[in-house]
Amino acid sequence: MAQDTLEAGTASAAFLHELRKQLALRRSEFSEVQNFSPARLATLEEQLAALGPMPESGTEPAEIAERRMILAQEIKVLNAPRLRAREAYKQADGLIREIDATLSAKETENLLQLRPSPIDLRLWPVAVLQISEKLKSLVGSVSTAWHTPVLRDKAHDQLSLIVALLVAAGVLLTQGRRWLARALRRLSRSEDAYGVDLALYLLGLGKLVNVLLCVFLVSRAWSISRLYDFDLSVLLQASPGIVAPFFIGRWLATQLCPIDETTRSVLALPSGSRVQARFWIRFLGVAISAMIFMAFLNSMGDFSSGTVAVIVVVLVSIAGVGTLQLGGLLWRQSHGSQAATGAEQVPHRIVVRLGQGLAVVAAICIALAVIGYSYLAIELLMTVLLATEFLGILFVTFEAVRNAVAMLSPDRNAGYDSLAAVVVNAALILASLPVFALIAGVRPSELMELWSTFQSGVTLGEVQLSPSVVLQLIVVFVIGLLLTRLIQRTLKIRILAKTKIDAGGQNAIVSGIGYFGIFLAAVVAITYAGLDLSSLAIVAGALSVGIGFGLQNIVSNFVSGIILLIERPISVGDWIEVGGNMGIVRKISVRSTSIQTFDRTDVIVPNADLVSGTVTNYTHGSSVGRIIVPIGVAYGNDTRKIEELLLPLAEQHPLVLKDPAPSVVFQGFGADSLNFEIRALLSDINYGLTVRSELNHQVYEVLTANGIEIPFGQRDIWIRNPEALGAVRSEPS
């Protein structure tokens, strides 16, 4: 039927919309069927795989061949509905695209159709007559329904519910404002300007919602009474949407241009312009509601093209004047743009550009309506006004979000311009894009089509990546990662800290469990999401080659990091020297190792340098280490006495090991001194510099007390030609 309808090309837009709706339902059913994989099918495929591949010779035992044929036939039968659903899905999807193209062509043709110009005054009496007759019929339908006994009896049966709805609307209308003010009393009385602004926003928004809810309750009560005809029922159902722009305009007028001149304004208009801006914003709210009402009236009134042209030129002229006035008011603020600095400069530019756009669009729409392009004029003006109104809502909401974040932050000013406020406002912008698309004329069905395409995702080989699959993948992986971190923390604090394993070994165990946990979380997440990555083996092979050439250093460092954790030539807390840098190992990560020097600077060393290069580890496996203290004494001293004086100094130090015992070595005869060395093993080499300094102090004290001189280099200078120097001094200056 859909194919025949499209080939005939005579269907109306309403029929095509209904046809598309039905096709979309069928397509969703086909999608579910083709993606459905029964458990029986998986079992059969496993049974077939258990038989092994077909022999290269093509001959196998009859029993196995028969079993293989039976399993293949059962798999084929189970796959048949999926294949038929896949074919039907493609057919329905193609028909939907054809219908969308047809509807777009019809809408474009309707917008560009030239109708009678309203300049022809003969059209006006007819237009007034048709509009008045339609309004009379709507009013008369209520009287007719009331005088119909059946309808009156039905209304009488629902009287209690109707009265309850009307009473609820009356209570909300009279008491709702007081309840809202009471709920926000503490916030509105705050001395903080951010709290006051937020309270004003919430109070105004609450009043708006309260009024729209009252309208909905009244329209619902009228709908229950059945005192209307079909046309009036359409208006009753649409009444909240018809009056919403009017009340939103009133709310935006007070939010964008507050009555209190001391209150901050989003538009940053001067005091004298706020009154005019409030008036024209409210005026445009009334104009938008009137245009929406007349659009519904036109859809049910079967008006002539001349009447439509008259209605459009009146509405566009009224709304266009208001748009011109508001646009000019915003445009004129460009004179004060030089005074705006810093953060105010960008929103001020936006306001000025918005005013320019409104003025230009209003002039164009009035000209189009006068010429006769009625639908194009009213659609363009309606789109711009609705988009501007929604943009105003966003501006006000952005400011409220910043005020709310400021109230929740310890530092109000920092919170007002914080990253959290920017992120929330960015999310609001993304969420508002579908609304702007609907305002711009995009059909809801087209948005649903985009959403359906987004949900279906993309196909990579045999893998279907959709948002739900990606979300499942991320959630499971994050849960696995959090569990890994919890296990690591428990091991490090609760278990390993109570064992005799050194700090380096504990770090190796914790890091190894972390790597294994991340790998396991990734595998579990991929499996849970139902991704079959076997079809991506070729792609993975190509990526591995690319990794081998382009990321070989990173891979080398990663493998070296694993080797360091397993082999443990160095550990966290070791004192090492590599590449001319000496310090304590603080962290061994996947790619590099962090060393903290004795100057308290961090040196990041690639793991590959630690594995393939030469590393000096002063505390590997043990903190025992040797120090050497060189000493020089003057010639003429008793070397045996020097040894007797120095050896007790090393033996009496608490950090020097008794076994092996320290020693004093007479190294030899230097140019200026007799050279000795104190050699001692320390229980903790990390204190080597401190022990060496202390021994130097004690050596100096002992040698000085015993009158032993510590020599220093002395040189005699011989001048070969002193007579030349004397001649130079005797010359007159």
**E strands of 480-607, at which residues?**
575-578, 581-588, 592-597, 602-606
The pLDDT of residue 364:
93
Assigned domain for 452 exists: no
| Three-state SS at 600 | coil
Integer Cα distance of 265 and 275 in angstroms: 13
Calculated CA dihedral for residues 395, 400, 402, 406, nearest 10 degrees: 160
Is the pLDDT at 511 greater than 90, yes or no? no
Distance of CA 593 to the CA centre of its chain: 32
**E strands of 589-669, at which residues?**
592-597, 602-606, 615-617, 625-633, 663-669
Identify the band that residue 338 occupies on the pLDDT scale cut at 50, 70 and 90.
very low
Identify the band that residue 726 occupies on the pLDDT scale cut at 50, 70 and 90.
low
Helix or strand (DSSP H, E) at 28: helix 13-34
Assigned domain for 595 exists: yes
CB 254 within 8 A of CB 278: yes
Taking residues 314-342, report their average pLDDT.
74
- Token pair, residue 481, equals 């990662």
User: Are residues 139 and 20 part of one domain?
Assistant: no
Assigned domain for 117 exists: no
User: Are residues 141 and 34 part of one domain?
Assistant: no
Domain extent for 18: 2-111
User: Are residues 571 and 474 part of one domain?
Assistant: no
Identify the band that residue 191 occupies on the pLDDT scale cut at 50, 70 and 90.
low
Q: Domain holding 585: CATH number?
A: 2.30.30.60
- DSSP structure class, residue 207: H
Between 447 and 333, residue with greater pLDDT: 447
Residues 6+ positions from 702 with CB-CB distance below 8 Å:
645, 646, 649
The pLDDT of residue 544:
65
Identify the band that residue 441 occupies on the pLDDT scale cut at 50, 70 and 90.
confident
CB 616 within 8 A of CB 577: yes
For the chain, how are helix, strand and coil distributed in percent, rounded to 5? 70, 10, 20
- DSSP structure class, residue 656: B
Tens digit of each residue's pLDDT (9 = 90 or more) over 561-586: 878 877 778 888 888 888 888 888 88
Integer Cα distance of 59 and 586 in angstroms: 66
Phi/psi region, residue 477 (left: phi>0; alpha: psi -120 to 50; beta: rest), is alpha
Residue whose tokens read 């022809």: 120
Residues 6+ positions from 118 with CB-CB distance below 8 Å:
124, 306, 309, 310, 312, 313, 369, 370, 372
Assigned domain for 732 exists: no
Tens digit of each residue's pLDDT (9 = 90 or more) over 581-639: 888 888 888 788 899 988 888 899 988 888 888 888 888 777 888 899 999 998 888 88
The pLDDT of residue 543:
60
Beta-bridge mates of residue 617: 576
The pLDDT of residue 196:
79
The pLDDT of residue 164:
92
User: Are residues 614 and 633 part of one domain?
Assistant: no
User: Are residues 557 and 473 part of one domain?
Assistant: no
Between 197 and 648, residue with greater pLDDT: 648
52 by Cβ neighbours in 10 Å (0-12 / 13-18 / 19+) ranks as: exposed
Integer Cα distance of 323 and 381 in angstroms: 9
Is the pLDDT at 644 greater than 80, yes or no? yes
Beta-bridge mates of residue 677: 630, 665
Which among 334, 387, 378 is positioned nearest to 358, based on CA atoms? 387
Assigned domain for 542 exists: no
- Domain finish residue from 82, 111, 140: 111
**E strands of 117-167, at which residues?**
none
- Domain finish residue from 416, 446, 476: 446
Assigned domain for 284 exists: yes
Which among 312, 359, 304 is positioned nearest to 331, based on CA atoms? 359
User: Are residues 240 and 138 part of one domain?
Assistant: yes
- Token pair, residue 342, equals 């810093």
- Token pair, residue 511, equals 């890091």
User: Are residues 32 and 158 part of one domain?
Assistant: no
Identify the band that residue 343 occupies on the pLDDT scale cut at 50, 70 and 90.
very low
Is the pLDDT at 404 greater than 90, yes or no? no
Identify the band that residue 314 occupies on the pLDDT scale cut at 50, 70 and 90.
very high
CB 118 within 8 A of CB 313: yes
User: Among residues of the chain, what percentage have pLDDT more than 90?
Assistant: 18
Phi/psi region, residue 668 (left: phi>0; alpha: psi -120 to 50; beta: rest), is left
Alpha carbon distances (Å) from 689 to 167, 321, 398: 90, 88, 61
Is the pLDDT at 536 greater than 80, yes or no? no
Integer Cα distance of 376 and 151 in angstroms: 42
CB 235 within 8 A of CB 138: yes
Integer Cα distance of 445 and 277 in angstroms: 37
User: Are residues 154 and 100 part of one domain?
Assistant: no
- Domain finish residue from 621, 645, 665: 621
Is the pLDDT at 677 greater than 60, yes or no? yes
Is the pLDDT at 336 greater than 60, yes or no? no
Range with top average pLDDT, 199-203, 482-486, 609-613, 728-732: 482-486
pTM higher than 0.75: no
Residue type at position 486: L
Domain count, the chain: 5
CB 644 within 8 A of CB 707: no
Integer Cα distance of 313 and 319 in angstroms: 10
User: Are residues 407 and 291 part of one domain?
Assistant: yes
Assigned domain for 721 exists: no
* Maximum Cα–Cα distance across the chain: 149
Lowest mean pLDDT among 53-67, 171-185, 355-369: 53-67
Residues 6+ positions from 625 with CB-CB distance below 8 Å:
618, 619, 681, 682, 684, 685, 688
User: Are residues 381 and 300 part of one domain?
Assistant: yes
Alpha carbon distances (Å) from 171 to 163, 214, 268: 12, 9, 37
Identify the band that residue 545 occupies on the pLDDT scale cut at 50, 70 and 90.
low
Integer Cα distance of 536 and 543 in angstroms: 10
Lowest mean pLDDT among 94-98, 137-141, 488-492: 137-141
Integer Cα distance of 540 and 436 in angstroms: 41
Q: What is the three-state SS of 259-319?
A: CCCCCCCCCCCCHHHHHHHHHHHHHHHHHHHHHHHHHHHHHHHCCCHHHHHHHHHHHHHHH
604: how many CB neighbours lie within 10 A of its CB? Answer: 11
Which among 610, 612, 616, 664 is positioned nearest to 640, based on CA atoms? 664
Which among 491, 550, 541 is positioned nearest to 516, based on CA atoms? 491
103 by Cβ neighbours in 10 Å (0-12 / 13-18 / 19+) ranks as: middle
User: Among residues of the chain, what percentage have pLDDT more than 70?
Assistant: 88
User: Are residues 595 and 463 part of one domain?
Assistant: no
Helix or strand (DSSP H, E) at 320: helix 305-331
Is the pLDDT at 346 greater than 60, yes or no? no
- Whole-number mean pLDDT of the chain? 83
662: how many CB neighbours lie within 10 A of its CB? Answer: 24
CB 634 within 8 A of CB 703: no
Is the pLDDT at 203 greater than 70, yes or no? yes
CB 602 within 8 A of CB 551: no
**Is the preceding peptide bond at 660 cis, omega within 30 degrees of 0?**
yes
Taking residues 278-306, report their average pLDDT.
88
Residue whose tokens read 């209570």: 171
Identify the band that residue 340 occupies on the pLDDT scale cut at 50, 70 and 90.
very low
User: Are residues 284 and 141 part of one domain?
Assistant: yes
Residue whose tokens read 């392009």: 373
Assigned domain for 453 exists: no
